[in-house]
Chain A
């Protein structure tokens, strides 16, 4: 059984200082085991200015097992799959501890964006580029941030309006956006 009261306390805590921490979490609906995290790209990195959506699934034995986290926003980084957003980070695996929280995990992801570990890669192609052609890595990562991580910084209502203006019914638009973690492009594909 998921420790619901612990999760609720975490949500309250993370909400309290989301403006200064740069990380936040929203509920997906009624299911408290499925959450959406947001982290802002760290300054002085190719991710600066971007807002990154993280899908968070809590296993039933949370906090004894790590939360499952995955980038929904596409990101060019040696430790994050450019294909599916899977993350290579020790605290999300065997180094997880119940002493950690969803907030510390998101902050660690933010730190990972600042400090890639190309020798322990999730995405071999990105890691190779990072090691062999660093300037190209930086500009690619920056393009990806510009292309994917800035659009999703539009408010959800603005996205809804945009898609409704394209002629889709509002209820369907909202459902589509929700299942796509707020990504309007994915939502559009779903609607078409």
Chain B
């Protein structure tokens, strides 16, 4: 009896050891900081379990039956089916809506809510006083980054603001240094950086690499460019959050009760993860670009005059400049807005 209790305690201790070891490993495993991990492959077990040959025989019998089935099972992995199904849904969505849509008059928004609530209709009327047009983006979880991509580059294309481009290229260099400092390997982000800087330099006219407005729109709709730039923004956002972990931690803990590291790993870096205030603040600060988000929802502030709320995300480094990137937020989705 005593022995079995001792045995149990030992097992508990073992389990505890596993957990601690795993924590250590996980923190090393992501991102690429695992170079100091011990080489455990050489350490062969010397304590042989001498009993129960029968159990080994059993294992071998199981193994043989398993062996026969291994190769046949290759073709019907459940995850494959799930991923295929997801891809089908994405493809279906893609046919309805490009990553970045065409510019539409704001009346298109009103048309969408014809049979909607009176609060929404009222708010859209207020929006129409200040805003001229809307450009929709695909609702694939990347819409915030996709809005930022197009609205920012369109602004630079129209303003031909070379100072802004130089400023942004500096910020990009800073972001690369931050990423390297955090332990990310250059090859994991260099292609994404290039996709963005190519577009950024391209929208400035008068060089061989210059691209037109139509070309910008085409490239923003092309997955192998658009997704790369979105991924660049995800890297930038994640790096900024990690760099200023002390600042972001209370927001993140309040939002989802996970660590900063885990938040970045699960809510920022994977494609398709939606963005909220934390991501917007981080991207805006990291790249020094002010962003205005206009909120359209069913909320009303009592009987007083209805208003449409907005929030300006002004990076600390730029002082109080007014936003050139404006987005319309409806719960769960961002589109681009154009002021009058």
A residues at B contact (CB < 8 Å): 3, 6, 9-10, 13, 17, 19-22, 40-45, 48-49, 51, 63-65, 68, 70, 72, 74, 82-86, 90, 92-101, 103-104, 107-108, 110-111, 114-115, 134-135, 138-140, 142-148, 150, 183, 185-186, 189
Contact = CB atoms under 8 A, between A and B. Distances in A.
A20 B80 contact: no
Interface residues of B, number: 67
Which one of B17, B22, B238 has the highest number of Cβ atoms from chain A below 10 Å of its Cβ? B22
Nearest to A88: B79
Contacts of B191: 3, 6
A10 B191 CA distance: 13
Contact of B26 (A111, A139, A189): A111
11 contacts: A22-B41, A44-B17, A48-B40, A86-B78, A98-B269, A99-B188, A99-B235, A100-B188, A104-B32, A107-B25, A189-B67
Contact of A48 (B43, B70, B77, B184): B43
Contact of B22 (A115, A134, A138, A140): A115
B32 A103 contact: yes
Interface string B155-197: 0000000000000000000000000000011011101100000
A1 to B, nearest CB: 8
Interface stretch (B54-62, B111-119, B126-134, B206-214): B54-62
Given A83-B73, A115-B19, A189-B68, 18 more contacts: A21-B34, A40-B41, A42-B40, A43-B38, A44-B14, A49-B45, A68-B80, A94-B270, A99-B189, A99-B231, A100-B30, A103-B34, A107-B25, A110-B25, A110-B29, A111-B22, A146-B45, A150-B44
Interface in B206-260: 227, 231, 234-235, 238
B80 to A, nearest CB: 7
B45 to A, nearest CB: 4
Contact of B35 (A10, A20, A98, A110): A20
Contacts of B231: 64, 98-99
